[in-house]
Amino acid sequence: LQKSLNETFGADKYSEARKEVLTNMFSRPMQMALYFCTGVLEDETLFRHYALNVPFYTHFTSPIRRYADVIVHRLLSASLGASSPIKMEKEAIQRQADHCNDRKMASKRVQELSADLFFAIFVRV
């Protein structure tokens, strides 16, 4: 996809902006990752990461960035014995995951609407 975009848009002063907008639009249909508590899911095939083709997968970044990452760091630390066990039921952890998913979806929607507005203004000119 990237190669096709590079070949199609050439090197004029707007080519990078067009590529960026269209790349963003092409990636929208991809399924977003969802946070979930493994303790509430019985089907371990749901833990799979399709694109990486691995059966078990977890992802997190610096805990200063997202609350979901704070939770993962705490759970990982507790599972490794580096801190006290988490005093939350798995259902409570799943509710936190659902809330993080809702906020992430809302943020993504605003980002998409912003890109749509930019694109509309761009093609109008």
Q: Tens of pLDDT along 52-61? A: 778 877 777 7
pLDDT of res. 114 = 92
SS3 of residue 54 by DSSP: strand
Q: Is the pTM above the cut of 0.85?
A: no
- 90-124 and 15-27 helices, crossing angle to 10°: 140
Longest dimension (CA), the chain: 59
Tokens standing for 16? Answer: 């990078």
SS3 of residue 91 by DSSP: helix
- Segment 23-72, tens digit of pLDDT: 777 766 566 778 888 888 888 877 777 777 788 777 777 777 788 888 88
Residues in the chain, total:
125
Mean pLDDT of all residues in 74-93: 91
Q: CA–CA separation, 9 vs 71, rounded Å?
A: 43
Average pLDDT, the chain: 82
